[in-house]
């Protein structure tokens, strides 16, 4: 017999919303299972039961924003720490990119529940995604994500001569971090001191640690793409809204 699972988990699996959003909608009576309103948190259902949501849920979800920022050095991705400001502190009307194409007026309520979907460490710059939409967060940092992240990495070889070809192959596949083998990456030289990294995972300080293992010191690291969304000409320290026609 098919096992039951929590309604909120099933809604997340169906791509309707995040689990947290699901719990909010259930509590408000906005969710139906086989046509009947379900308002009790923790309710379990069978996978073949039909789940629908009321129009109010879709309307509320459509107001949720996703913001792209070109994070400068010295800002942390998430909560403020060690006296450093979080990147969300840069999200204010005066820092909005003048070329932002979304007809959306900035309002401080858009900062509520605005969380980073992925991290960039304090010494790194480039594309950072902050979102109120649980579906976007799941797509970018969920367990089964396969979204590519592209980085330009300026490096210095700490040994004599040049990085051996075998070590470049190791950066592509063969290294382990924290006792686990890394998913294959795409790493190639862009010029004599800059590498392009394309990853499908994001362990803490992953690129810096990978480079250290083959004798490379990272001088600068910039994320330029997440999925199909590029940093482009977005100036450092400025932000814009994600457009409806920009799927990751």
Contact 19, 26 (CB under 8 A): no
Residues with Cβ within 8 Å of 72's Cβ and at least 6 positions away in sequence, in order, are 125, 236, 237
What is 157-188 written as a DSSP string?
A: E-SSS---HHHHHHHHTT-EETTEEPPP-EEE
Q: What is the pLDDT of residues 145-187, one digit of tens each?
A: 889 999 999 999 999 999 999 999 999 999 999 999 999 999 9
Q: How many CA atoms lie within 13 A of 127 on its CB side?
A: 22
Report d(CA 24, CA 28) in Å as an integer: 6
Nearest to 142 by CA among 228, 25, 17, 244: 17
Which residues participate in catalysis according to the annotation? 121
| Ordered domains of the chain (ranges, CATH) | 5-62 (3.10.290.10), 66-144+229-241 (3.30.70.580), 149-226 (3.30.2350.10)
How confident is the model at residue 36, as a pLDDT?
94
Report d(CA 167, CA 174) in Å as an integer: 10
> Quick check: 1 pLDDT over 70?
no
Average pLDDT, stretch 185-207?
Answer: 94
Report d(CA 35, CA 192) in Å as an integer: 62
Q: What is the pLDDT of residues 81-112, one digit of tens each?
A: 788 899 999 999 999 999 999 998 998 888 88
User: How far is the CA of 73 from the CAs of 123, 222, 237, in angstroms?
Assistant: 5, 10, 9
Q: What is the pLDDT of residues 11-25, one digit of tens each?
A: 988 878 878 889 989
Token pair recorded at residue 246: 């920009």
> Quick check: 60 pLDDT over 90?
no
User: Which pLDDT band holds residue 56 (cuts at 50, 70, 90)?
Assistant: confident
Report d(CA 248, CA 246) in Å as an integer: 6
Torsion, Cα 129 130 132 134, to 10 degrees, reads: 40
Report d(CA 34, CA 48) in Å as an integer: 10
Nearest to 189 by CA among 175, 172, 174, 176: 172
Helices (H) and strands (E) in the chain, counts: 6, 16
pTM attached to this predicted model: 0.81
Considering only residues 79 and 171, tell me which one the structure prediction assigns the higher pLDDT: 171
Report d(CA 190, CA 183) in Å as an integer: 22
Q: Name residue, tokens 């070329």.
A: 99
Report d(CA 122, CA 124) in Å as an integer: 6
Count of Cβ atoms closer than 10 Å to residue 234 Cβ: 18
Compute the C-alpha angle 185/186/191, nearest 5°. Answer: 140
């Amino acid at each position: 017999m098919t096992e039951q699972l929590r309604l909120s988990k099933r809604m997340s699996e169906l791509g309707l919303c995040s689990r947290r959003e699901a719990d909010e909608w259930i509590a408000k009576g906005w969710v139906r299972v086989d046509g009947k309103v379900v308002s009790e948190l923790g309710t379990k259902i069978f996978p073949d039961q039909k789940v629908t949501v009321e129009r109010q849920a879709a309307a509320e979800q459509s107001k949720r924003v996703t913001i792209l920022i070109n994070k400068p050095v010295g800002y942390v991705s998430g909560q403020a720490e060690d006296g450093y400001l979080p990147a969300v502190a840069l999200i204010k009307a005066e820092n909005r990119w003048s070329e932002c194409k979304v007809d959306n007026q900035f309002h401080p309520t858009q900062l509520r529940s605005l969380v980073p979907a992925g991290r960039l460490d304090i010494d790194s710059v480039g594309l950072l995604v902050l979102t109120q939409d649980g579906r976007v967060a799941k797509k970018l940092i969920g367990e089964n994500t396969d979204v590519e992240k592209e980085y330009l990495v300026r490096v210095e070889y700490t040994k004599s001569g040049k990085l051996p070809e075998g070590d470049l192959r190791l950066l592509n596949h063969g290294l382990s971090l924290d006792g686990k083998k890394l998913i294959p990456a795409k790493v190639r030289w862009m010029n004599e001191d800059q590498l392009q990294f394309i990853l499908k995972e994001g362990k803490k300080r992953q690129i810096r640690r990978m480079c250290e293992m083959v004798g490379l010191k990272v001088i600068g690291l910039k994320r330029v793409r997440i999925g199909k969304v590029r940093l482009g000409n977005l100036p450092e320290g400025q932000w814009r809204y994600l457009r409806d026609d920009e799927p990751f």
